[in-house]
């Protein structure tokens, strides 16, 4: 105990124990356990990042990535067909594993519980987790293969997530094919680089960002597990986008044909002022360029067709080779740290809760793109594949997500010539299509004749 406190003292973090004498033996031991797990070297590195950086660093040269378009043309058409067939084969052979990241704190949504439990199904109120599960179930049915689902949590939601899956019977997926792993947490610091306390006996910890997925996969043994199952490619997606289509043959096939280590799906950004990161190269290295880093003239630049030059809006859907992740993590993966400055509720010197300006430290998955020898960037239609739940209200909220989902499904129904589904009092079409029934308009049309006669108007297609 004395040694640990001395180590903290030496690292100029001795204040972590300033309420020691007020604590019960149980609380003292809780704080000790937590402090024993803190990587003080990493905290020192984080502290150094708070110092003002050099101001005369040259701005990087940005270039847009080569995009495989949503509507292929010319030679892209047979290539897309070949890629689709390759993707189907990979899925049929069970060579694709699915990684869902759900370790975030969902602070903007302000939901009491893991974000994945948030109800989004317009008719069923199915949760985000249930939606993703349905897509994977649909993939297992379509491809007649085993689907292994790797779900990343963090200490703040791991227990509640596992309980929820158990309560829901793993949404009908075989329990031994659903695997949980927990990302690491790192201490949040104040603006002077001092570790913050969430309580007198508790260090303020935050998940280390979705970049933590790679290490956590390797350290949990699940990367090895995936490789042992013959899984070559991991399909990565985020919990907050129920339109994500993780078993997409075209994307997986393009990635495979290119011999890529890591690839991405993007949606076209149409408004230059939309505050979304875009994929592109910075001094030749592929990654995600933050909205605020892109100079205004690049942000507004348009090509001969009038499209934005930097339009590859990042939707955080990736394909990663297990071999690529293995190599990265074996050699000591070194992703850059990003700083998120926020007001946080912490225990101040007076021993009471107060709001303080603090900094959280995260690594981002897209920074691994720079390490991939080859990469595919596939543009997909936003209305088909991207409607995230980030905020409690307004854009990117549960309401906007439900609206996008129902508009999409209503479009499929309309194309069949059947009567429109009912609308609720807010004008929302009461319509939901289970992914096991159909994943797209073409499949919906094929499946419908048999079902149409049986279904009452405006309801769930399942
Ligand atoms: P966001 O960056 O939108 O964060 O995460 P969030 O936690 O959902 O919400 P805010 O910012 O606190 O409001 C995008 C995706 O990455 C996952 C989230 O669970 C979400 O699926 N994520 C984020 C992690 O798994 N771990 C992290 O450390 C951060």
What residue ranges in 327-403 does DSSP mark as E strands? 338-347, 353-362, 377-380
Q: What is the pLDDT along the chain (462 residues), one digit of tens a residue?
A: 779 999 999 999 999 999 999 999 999 999 999 999 999 999 999 999 998 776 667 889 999 999 999 999 999 999 999 999 999 999 999 999 999 999 999 989 999 999 999 999 999 999 999 999 999 999 999 999 999 999 999 999 999 999 999 999 999 999 999 999 999 999 999 999 999 999 999 999 999 999 999 999 999 999 999 999 999 999 999 999 999 999 999 999 999 999 999 999 999 998 999 999 999 999 999 999 999 999 999 999 999 999 999 999 999 999 999 999 999 999 788 899 999 999 999 999 999 999 999 999 999 999 999 999 999 999 999 999 999 999 999 999 999 999 999 999 999 998 888 888 888 887 788 889 999 999 999 999 988 765 555 555 456 666
Cα–Cα dist 356/377, whole Å:
40
Q: Among 210, 341, 391, which residue has the most ligand 1 atoms within 8 Å of its CB, making it the best to mutate?
A: 210
Cβ–Cβ < 8 Å for 90, 233: yes
Q: Angle formed by the axes of helices 158-167 and 128-143, to 10°?
A: 60
Q: Angle formed by the axes of helices 249-257 and 76-92, to 10°?
A: 100
Q: Among 102, 104, 209, 288, which residue has the most ligand 1 atoms within 8 Å of its CB, making it the best to mutate?
A: 104
The residue assigned the tokens 């239609």 is: 381
Cα-only R_g, the chain: 24
Atom of ligand 1 nearest to the CA of 241: 21
pTM value?
0.94
Residue nearest to atom 27 of ligand 1 (CA): 209
Cα–Cα dist 312/270, whole Å:
10
Q: Angle formed by the axes of helices 25-36 and 2-10, to 10°?
A: 50
Which residues line the pocket of ligand 1, CB cutoff 6 A?
101-108, 115, 152, 154, 183, 207-210, 212, 238-240, 362, 390
Token couple for 318 = 């990736």
- Side-chain half-sphere exposure of 392, counting CA atoms within 13 A: 6
Could you tell me the domains of the chain? 59-390 (3.90.550.10), 391-462 (no CATH)
Calculate how far, in angstroms, residue 238's C-alpha sits from the geometric centre of ligand 1: 8
Calculate how far, in angstroms, residue 274's C-alpha sits from the geometric centre of ligand 1: 19
Displacement of CA 209 from its chain's centroid (Å) = 10
Contacting residues for 379 by C-beta, under 8 A, at least 6 apart: 67, 68, 69, 70, 265, 266, 267, 268, 312
Cα–Cα dist 153/185, whole Å:
11
């Amino acid at each position: 105990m004395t040694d640990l406190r001395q180590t903290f003292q030496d690292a100029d973090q001795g204040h972590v124990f300033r309420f020691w004498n007020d604590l019960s033996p149980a609380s003292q031991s809780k704080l000790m356990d937590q402090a024993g797990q803190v990587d003080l070297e990493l905290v020192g590195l984080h502290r150094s990042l708070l110092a003002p950086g050099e101001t005369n660093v040259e701005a990087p040269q940005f270039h847009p990535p080569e995009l495989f378009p949503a509507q292929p043309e010319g030679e892209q058409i047979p290539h897309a067909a070949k890629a689709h067939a390759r993707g189907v084969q990979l899925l049929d052979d069970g060579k694709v594993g699915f990684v869902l990241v759900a370790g975030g704190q969902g602070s903007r949504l302000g939901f009491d519980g893991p974000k994945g439990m948030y109800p989004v199904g317009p008719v069923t109120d199915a949760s985000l987790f249930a939606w993703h599960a349905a897509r994977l179930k649909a993939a297992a049915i379509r491809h007649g293969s085993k689907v292994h689902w790797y779900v990343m949590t963090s200490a703040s939601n791991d227990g509640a997530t596992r309980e929820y899956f158990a309560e829901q019977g793993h949404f009908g997926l075989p329990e031994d094919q659903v695997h949980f792993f927990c990302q690491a947490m790192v201490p949040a610091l104040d603006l002077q680089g001092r570790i913050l306390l969430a309580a007198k006996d508790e260090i303020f910890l935050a998940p280390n960002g979705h970049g933590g997925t790679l290490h956590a996969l390797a350290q949990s043994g699940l990367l090895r597990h995936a490789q042992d199952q013959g899984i070559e490619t991991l399909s990565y997606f985020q919990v907050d986008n129920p339109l994500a289509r993780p078993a997409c043959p075209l994307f997986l096939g393009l990635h495979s044909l290119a011999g890529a280590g890591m690839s991405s799906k993007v949606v076209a950004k149409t408004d230059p002022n939309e505050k979304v990161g875009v994929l592109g190269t910075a001094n030749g290295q592929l990654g995600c360029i933050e909205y605020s880093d892109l100079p205004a003239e690049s942000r507004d630049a348009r090509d001969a067709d009038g499209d934005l030059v930097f339009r590859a809006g990042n939707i955080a859907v990736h394909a990663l080779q297990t071999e690529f992740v293995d190599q990265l993590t074996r050699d000591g993966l070194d992703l850059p740290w990003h700083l998120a400055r926020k007001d946080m509720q912490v225990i101040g010197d007076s021993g009471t809760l107060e709001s303080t300006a603090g900094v959280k430290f995260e690594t981002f998955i897209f920074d691994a793109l720079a390490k991939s020898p080859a990469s595919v960037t596939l543009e997909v239609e936003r209305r088909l594949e991207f409607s995230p739940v980030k905020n409690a209200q307004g854009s990117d909220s549960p309401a906007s997500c439900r609206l996008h989902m129902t508009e999409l499904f209503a479009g499929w129904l309309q194309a069949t010539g059947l009567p429109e589904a009912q609308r609720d009092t807010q004008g929302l079409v009461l319509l939901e299509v289970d992914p096991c029934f159909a994943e797209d308009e073409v499949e919906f049309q094929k499946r419908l004749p048999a079902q149409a006669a049986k279904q009452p108007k405006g309801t769930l297609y399942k």
